[in-house]
Structure 1
Amino acid sequence: MAILVLFSTVSFTVEKHFCGDVLIDMAIFNAAEKCSSYIVDVQIINHCCKDTVDVIKGQDELNVKSLTDLDFDQQLFLTAFTYSYLNLFEGLPELVVPHKNYFPPNLIADIQVLNQVFII
């Protein structure tokens, strides 16, 4: 949506340079090159060259609505929806870990391996 608004409000110009019916150069952000570097005959340059400039205007005015432009029912719905959505998520309570300070004893020998008892 933001890209659509950006491209609809941008305006720019397109410059085209023709020698006769042949398009010599087209530029969008800078000036178009003239045909003097392509054609050396001075008579042709003076009589048949023409420049065209196309201006593409973007949208100048955007309709920005505020909360006061809405009807009372729309304002009521919007505030109720916002309030219920923000209160939908509650924080988790702090969990109590009863064995937080318990450290298991050091294993001297692995009893399952000594007795050769394995769960299959």
Structure 2
Amino acid sequence: MKNSLLNKGLSFLMAFVVLFSTLSFTIESHYCGDHLIDTAVFTKAKVCGGNTADKDFAMKSCCKHEVDVIKGQDKLKLNTFDDLDIQHQLFLASFTYSYVSLFVTLPKQVVLHKEYAPPNLIFDIQVLDETFLI
């Protein structure tokens, strides 16, 4: 019980490590002078002027817009069966064939009393005779 719980926890942790090591995202920050106006992850940061249509008003000369890109791992090693040399391919194919042949299907057995319903219990004989198995 303890080992299976530990294995499940470690498997869950390793899945998150793989997920977050391959995740890429951007952090955008907008400064007006020395003051931080907005910071956004995955979206555009709001500028000083708010929702104005005039871009010149929104981006003054004192404003600064920073974009930090956090790059995740993008090169995962994916091997196929064809990447292995001939000896490893032969071993893997023979091992798989011998492992699958271990599991032999049994013939279907016919159970004759599967649909049989026991008779209704009218009197409990053991209680009436006061004979109990101990």
Q: TM-score band, normalised by the shorter chain?
A: 0.5 to 0.7
Decide whether aligned partners of structure 1 residues 99 and 16 sit closer, same or farther in structure 2, where only a CA change above 3 A counts.
closer
More deviation, 58-67/79-88: 58-67
1:57 aligns with 2:57: no
Residue 47 of structure 1, CA deviation: 4.4
1:81 aligns with 2:104: no
Q: Which structure has more RCO (C-alpha within 8 Å, separation ≥ 6)?
A: 1
1:24 aligns with 2:37: yes
Q: Which letter maps to 1:32?
A: A
TM-score, scaled relative to structure 1? 0.60
SS of the aligned residue for 1:91 comes to: coil
Q: Counterparts of 1:61 and 1:29 in 2: how far apart (Å)?
A: 22
Q: What are structure 2's unaligned runs of at least 5 residues?
A: 1-13, 51-58
Provide the alpha-carbon RMSD of the alignment: 3.6
Q: What are structure 1's unaligned runs of at least 5 residues?
A: 38-44
Q: Which letter maps to 1:17?
A: H
Does the 8 Å contact 2:27/2:68 carry over to 1? yes
More deviation, 24-33/81-90: 81-90
Q: Counterparts of 2:122 and 2:74 in 1: how far apart (Å)?
A: 81
CA radius of gyration, larger in: 1
Cross-structure match for 1:14:
27
Q: Which letter maps to 1:28?
A: V
TM-score, scaled relative to structure 2? 0.56
Q: 1:71 aligns with which of 82, 85, 88?
A: 85
Query: C-alpha deviations, 1:49-104, integer Å up to 9, x for none?
Result: 21111223344544432212102222122212322332333333322435568777
Decide whether aligned partners of structure 1 residues 27 and 113 sit closer, same or farther in structure 2, where only a CA change above 3 A counts.
closer
1:34 aligns with 2:47: yes
